[in-house]
Amino acid sequence: GTEIPAVSALHRHRVEQVVADVWGVNASPARLAAQLHQESRWQARARSPVGAQGIAQFMPATAQWMAERFKDQLGVFDPWNPVQAIHAAALYDKWLLDRVQAIGHTTLTECTRWNFALRAYNGGETWLLRERALTVTARADPNNWKQVERFRARGASAHSENVGYPRKILLTLEPAYIAAGWPGEAVCR
């Protein structure tokens, strides 16, 4: 649901702090809050059926990669530690967003860039790139998230979950957190 869990208040300061550190003071803590809501409903001990861990639901291999990639920022990384995991989620989001590039002659909106970064967080950057390539092959726009959604390179249920993930965060939850008083501005309108 879109009801803001009371437990989110325990982590609000940390979310605001890391978003400012990673993205700058004009970034949207509401967006990271929406993502953590979608991942675990703010449950620090959450474990998914496929093995994702903690408040930010990192798979063990991703957590291990992040521990190495962001060791200067994170120190010894424990995905079960919500303070560290919130910081890691912001760092990983920025890393993924910075890797989203326009393909061809059209441009990427910020909404599409965030959609693609969140899809990469949820289902892997490689799958997203394959689906953008299928979009090119079909002569559709690989820089428009709505057009890319039509193309599937993975199983139907995985694709459906991956397409729904950024939609829920950017179109439903981020505006709900903003309406609840969290700082930020919705990137998709």
**Is 39 marked active-site?**
yes
Give 53's strand partners.
47, 58
User: How far is residue 111's CA from residue 61's CA, in Å, rounded to a whole number?
Assistant: 28
Which of these is catalytic: 3, 16, 39, 174? Answer: 39
Q: What are the backbone dihedrals phi and psi of residue 184, each rounded to the nearest 5 degrees, phi first?
A: 140, 170
User: How far is residue 114's CA from residue 187's CA, in Å, rounded to a whole number?
Assistant: 8
| DSSP H helical ranges for 46-137 | 60-69, 71-74, 82-99, 110-123, 125-137
The helix (run of H) or strand (run of E) holding residue 5 is none
Taken in order 37, 170, 126, 130, the sign of the CA dihedral is positive
Burial class (CB in 10 A: 0-12, 13-18, 19+), 32: buried
- Residue 81's SS3 state is coil
> Residues with catalytic annotation?
39
